[in-house]
Chains A and B, each alone.
With several copies, the nearest count.
Chain A
Amino acid sequence: MKKFVNDPRQFVPEMLEGIALANPDTLTYVPEYNLIMRSDAPREDKVSIVQGSGSGHEPAHVMIVGRGMLDAACPGDVFAAPPMDYVYETAKRVASPKGVLLLVNNYTGDRMAFDMGREMAEADGIDVRILTINDDVAVKDSLYTIGRRGVAGNFFVIKAVGAASEQGADLDELVRLGQKVNDVTRTMGVALTACTPPAKGSPLFELGEDEMEFGVGIHGEPGRERRPLVPADQIVDDLLEAVVTDLPYSSGDRVALMINGLGGTPISELYVLFRRAHRQLAERGITVGRSYVGEYCTSLDMAGASLTLVRLDDEIERLLQAPAEVAIRVF
């Protein structure tokens, strides 16, 4: 296992401690519950926004806590939803008179933990709502699953409700906005390699030198199908076809385009993908109004990428443009 790791069981706590040490003025860390929260949360005048999920998707979600985005994140172990206690304790700690919005990626474990956590918090008199995110078009047959997964498109929901909550929106309004963004967001991903969870120490699956996993999930779980590896442009065309036709996005639409790296792919390659996607969208008469290239939601060290589109309107675009300040930063 070629990783920077000490005791694998301490991987998540050590990472969280690192985040806290790097942001002493803005973030508070509560080790008992894997909780990273804004030091100034909860605020009387603002709904608190919380997201939890398994770890291993960094910067999601522990590194996007901050002004204009999350008030708190409570991750579980690598790829495991947080225990319900973490959710409950987090909700208590960020409980604002305006309420708490729990953002949940649509996976069985996450939904159960957040549901149980919400029930417990409500019993304490906290006003809590849950918003489920499910942007992954790779999941075809939702009759036989719990439904589509929440993947990188999650970023846009967080950004939008984060911005609106700073502007004073109430819980109903935030649920409406988050739902609206989720409804116009679609994602599809591809993996070139499997990822290696620290506690497992070996890759989750084997991919041949000439293979890729199309429609992969962000937990290292295999995807829609295994395909021969093709050139970058062809991969983009295939991802785009799946995503564009799903909503569908049509000629005349203005979109946000995200090329998200899955953890082991350098940003140079992501821009090669972005170039093609931008050109092909233009061919389809779709205008890229906002561009996102980098790592937003990863699968540990997996080489791969996902492509997300969000159909923009003035309301959404204004929220995406709003300032924010989080732990992943350049300067």
Chain B
Amino acid sequence: MSGSMQNVELVVRTIARCAVDNEVYFGELDAVVGDGDFGYSLARGFEKVLDEWDGIDRTDAGTFLKRVGMIISSRIGGTSGPIWGTAFLRAGATAGATQGVSGERVVAMLRSAAEGIKARGQSDVGDKTLLDALVPLTDRLEQELTSGADAAAALAAAATTAREAAEATSRLVARRGRASYTGERSRGSVDAGAMALAVIIEQISSQWQAWQTEGVS
């Protein structure tokens, strides 16, 4: 997994675009047993990231990610602002003052992000949140990279896992977030945050190929 600053930017940009493009879809997912604002919140926050894109401090990957986290948590309300903001802040801290991040480092960053979310949300795997996609996809990514897969293959595998994991959340009962108030009735529909993450990682995976082909190493 090649570790240029450009790749970090491309990934963040893909996440941001994906959030903006899927505003309606993500909102609908949240409406099933939540309050329907997830798509709106995410879109407004990442819109701000895109708006301020050129001015974001790019000294190093860590600083860049932390600034993105701050934009997000200053603009996104609801649960998602603090959760996603914390994820970017933690990932940035783990990335550190480096221009590029190795595959190993990416895994570590995702682990930090997940720990941050757990702490902020007093939640864990199995509570039917985005953690139920984030943790499995990180595991899979690590496993693929360890067994020698290249970045593209590892991402593709992680994307498959993320989708499966997100879909599997429909078998869970929500124990955190708005959906938890409905108890048993939250079973039978997927978690909005987990599914959003699956869509995002799929997008990154498919874009990745293009970036490499276009020589945007």
**Which A residues fall within an 8 A CB radius of B?**
9, 54, 76-86, 107-109, 112-113, 116, 138-141, 144-146, 149, 197, 199-200, 204-205, 217, 219-225
Contacts and interface: CB of A to CB of B under 8 A. Distances in A.
B161 interface: no
Contact of B176 (A76, A86, A146, A197): A146
A11 B28 CA distance: 20
A163 B163 CA distance: 53
A81 B73 contact: no
A67 B27 CA distance: 38
A112 to B, nearest CB: 4
Contact of B35 (A83, A140, A221, A223): A221
A181 B180 CA distance: 26
B62 interface: no
A85 B74 contact: yes
Given A112-B82, A146-B122, A221 B73 contact: no
A1 to B, nearest CB: 13
Contacts of B63: none
Interface in B75-95: 75-83
Given A81-B77, A109-B79, A116-B82, 11 more contacts: A76-B77, A77-B40, A84-B74, A108-B177, A144-B183, A145-B181, A146-B122, A204-B31, A204-B36, A219-B35, A221-B33
B79 A112 contact: yes
Given A145-B181, A221-B179, A204 B35 contact: yes
A200 B26 CA distance: 11
A191 to B, nearest CB: 13
B100 interface: no
A197 B36 contact: yes
A109 B81 contact: yes
Interface string B27-64: 11001111111001100100000000000000000000
14 contacts: A77-B41, A77-B44, A78-B37, A80-B81, A81-B77, A81-B79, A108-B177, A109-B80, A113-B77, A139-B181, A199-B37, A200-B28, A204-B36, A220-B36
B81 A84 contact: yes
A85 B173 CA distance: 32
A116 B80 CA distance: 14
Contacts of B77: 54, 76-77, 80-83, 86, 109, 113
The 4 closest A-B pairs by CB, nearest first: A76-B77, A80-B78, A219-B35, A80-B77
B82 A113 contact: yes
Contacts, number: 128
B136 interface: no
Nearest to A196: B36
B182 A222 contact: yes
Given A77-B37, A77-B44, A78-B37, A109 B78 contact: yes
Contacts of B27: 199-200
Nearest to A78: B37
Contacts of A146: 122, 176, 180
Contacts of A86: 77
Contacts of A85: 73-75
Contact of A80 (B40, B73, B180): B40
Contact of A222 (B28, B33, B80, B122): B33
B180 A144 contact: yes
Interface in B105-128: 120-122
B36 A79 contact: yes
Nearest to A84: B73
Interface string B167-180: 00000011111111
Contact of A200 (B36, B79, B182, B183): B36
Contacts of B121: 108, 112
Given A84-B73, A199-B27, A217 B78 contact: no
A221 B182 contact: yes
Nearest to A197: B36
Contact of A223 (B73, B83, B173, B182): B182
A217 B40 contact: no
Contact of A107 (B31, B32, B178, B182): B178
Contacts of B173: 144
| Best-buried of B27, B34, B37, B76 by chain A (most CB within 10 Å) | B37
Given A84-B73, A145-B175, A76 B182 contact: no
Contacts of B35: 54, 79, 197, 204, 217, 219-221
